[in-house]
Amino acid sequence: MEFFNLIADSMPLLLQGVQKTIELALLSLLLATTLGLVFGIMRVSKKAYLQVPAKVYVSIIRGTPLYVQIIFFYFGLFPLIFGRATSPITAGIFVLSLHAGAYLVEIFRAGIESIDRGQFEAGRALGFTHGQTMRYIILPQAIKRMIPAFVNQFIISIKDTSLLATIGIAELTYSAQTIYAVNFKAFEFLAAVGVMYWVIINALTWFSHWIERRLSAV
């Protein structure tokens, strides 16, 4: 009974952490989508000066742990560039966006390459430029196929926000840490956090499966 009373008393602070977690994941995914689109188009380009930077970006970001990236940018690169520490929120969103963007590059690449080459030729036959063909013919079809992958990346980004506790961002994990640092009930609050993540992730997983079923029925 004491367990439930502890959780109930701390629920407002934990729910604030949930809100912050979702906000961070959404903002970072919006920025990551822009990165993924730009570098994804560069990735499928036949021009080496476009393709190589995209490959290097994906290789570096996907080849290093997110935790290392957070520490590197927040404690290393940003103070070196700006001469002072940046806001944890700004740094957190930047790093999460950079990290998720590298995975979205491959999602965009796969989505674009899944469209039959005849669609490109049809666009050119209609007098469209390469950019117009990509914008009006290829991307609308590709994005429809990529929606489940976007939802899955959002799920991953939500879990990744827990690492931002290392730089003091009051997302769900950090909120729980501040509570059990006072009452020393680490097991109870970490268990509650685990359940809350589980509920959020499973709800999004169900949503992803629902979207897949809807798209396959079209």
For range 184-205, the mean pLDDT:
85
User: Are the C-beta atoms of 92 and 167 separated by less than 8 Å?
Assistant: yes
Distance CA 17, CA 170 (A): 6
Over 80: is that where the pLDDT of 85 sits? Answer: no
| Terminal Cα-to-Cα distance of the chain (whole angstroms) | 50
User: Are the C-beta atoms of 148 and 215 separated by less than 8 Å?
Assistant: yes
Print the domain residue range for 128: 2-217
- The rounded radius of gyration (Å) of the Cα atoms in the chain is 21
Over 70: is that where the pLDDT of 218 sits? Answer: no
Task: Read off the CATH number of the domain in which 17 is found.
Answer: 1.10.3720.10
Distance CA 175, CA 168 (A): 10
Single-letter code of the amino acid located at 137: I
Over 90: is that where the pLDDT of 4 sits? Answer: no
The structure's pTM equals 0.85
Token digits of residue 141: 């079809």
Taking alpha carbons only, the member of 204, 218, 67, 93 closest to residue 149 is 204
- Confidence band for 15, pLDDT divided at 50, 70 and 90: confident
Q: How many domains does the chain have?
A: 1
